[in-house]
Amino acid sequence: MVKAFSLLDIALLYSLRGQGTYLDLEGVLCGFQPPLLSALVGLLSLSEAGPSTYVLAEEVNGQPLRGFVQGRAGGTECDVLFIAPAMPASGGSPLAERVWRVLLEHLCVQQGEQGVQRIFVKVRNDGSAAAETLRQLGFGAYARRHIFRLSSVPSWESLPGESLLRPRRPEDDWGLQRLYSTVTPRPIQQAEGFDRQAEGPASTALYGFGREPARAWLSERGGEITAYFRLLPGRWGHWLKAMLHPDLRDEGIPLVRAALNLFSEMPPRPLYCGVREYEVGLKNALIEVGFQPYADELLMVKHTTARVEVPAFELAPELEKKAKRVPTVSESRPQARDS
């Protein structure tokens, strides 16, 4: 039986603390709360800022099923942060797959009943059984993301950032929307929306990565925003969100350097940046200034409600080998019989 976390489950979470899979790479790299601490914060918090933790502990045919999952909601979205036990790196595990199915199905139903419409998960793109299990549960892949790492931020004194970039202002929202629409393919816009790409997951605003507030700068040309950089400071590392107009060629590299100059005043910690596979110009600029490949992820989403019968897999056909219709949460729940 799956139930919400309580103080009676502390021992179970503690025993599984080193056996799970982190599905929130930004948080892990930049300064996250361990799952048990997050569960306690979510339980004891008087606000809704804490994560939701669901625990499975039962016996099936003499076989113990133990595990837990954490998700953090923000608005109508929810991000799956952690699940235990972990899926084996090579080959499937019937026990782990069963635990994942039970826990994630419960999380989707619970979040859907609370008004969440989309549930996101980021899983390592390493060929493990995790992605396939998520597909079978109705999660559709909509993009691949490459994570790049810069061990230390260099400084180019001859290229001050102030000459190329200015701070973001509230009136820039429309221009940033246009930049996002230009950079991002339509299926991905439909899957996630502007706020998620430019600002980060809705849940990020609820817990942050550190004590420093996020900072944002942009570049304009002819009244059009051509570049955007947002730094989320963290305790262990910093996370950079960036967008470059696809028409930028040689200008992309000096803009990234200018942004790094502005970041040089931050505590000296590694800097990470996520780049979608279609953001070729940004990828090349990051490599040119010294970023190194760190990890690859598959971005997936499940809709808890659907107004039209369109399978989530069709969001990005090139990422899926085959597509079939997957019932939504509302459809999969038992229907009452007429008396």
Closest to 204 (Cα-Cα) out of 278, 276, 120, 125:
120
Is the pLDDT reported for residue 314 higher than 60?
no
Is the pLDDT reported for residue 178 higher than 90?
yes
Which pLDDT score is estimated for 74?
A: 81
Q: Which CATH architecture best describes the domain 2-146+298-332? A: 3-Layer(aba) Sandwich (3.40)
Sort 163 into a burial class: Cβ within 10 Å, 0-12 / 13-18 / 19+.
exposed
Closest to 69 (Cα-Cα) out of 28, 24, 27:
24
Distance CA 157, CA 54 (A): 51
Which pLDDT score is estimated for 203?
A: 47
Global pTM reads 0.81
Q: Which of 55-64, 103-112, 140-149, 309-318 has the lowest mean pLDDT?
A: 309-318
Which pLDDT score is estimated for 269?
A: 87
H-helix or E-strand containing 37? Answer: helix 35-44
Q: Where are the domains of the chain?
A: 2-146+298-332, 147-295
Q: What is the mean pLDDT of the chain?
A: 81
Q: 302, 138 in Cβ contact below 8 A?
A: yes
Which pLDDT score is estimated for 75?
A: 80
2-146+298-332 matches 147-295 in fold: yes
Which pLDDT score is estimated for 284?
A: 94
CATH assignment of 147-295, given 3.30.390.30, 3.50.50.60, 3.40.630.30, 3.40.50.920?
A: 3.40.630.30
Q: 113, 288 in Cβ contact below 8 A?
A: no
Mean pLDDT in residue range 259-279: 87
Q: Does residue 60 sit in helix, strand or coil?
A: strand
Distance CA 238, CA 240 (A): 7
- Give phi and psi for 46, each to the nearest 5: -85, -10
Mean pLDDT in residue range 162-186: 89
Residue ranges in 137-251 assigned as alpha helix (H): 173-183, 186-192, 194-199, 204-207
Which pLDDT score is estimated for 206?
A: 37
Q: 74, 120 in Cβ contact below 8 A?
A: no
Which pLDDT score is estimated for 208?
A: 46
Distance CA 221, CA 82 (A): 42
Which pLDDT score is estimated for 27?
A: 80
| CA distances for 67 relative to 17, 95, 132, angstroms | 10, 10, 19
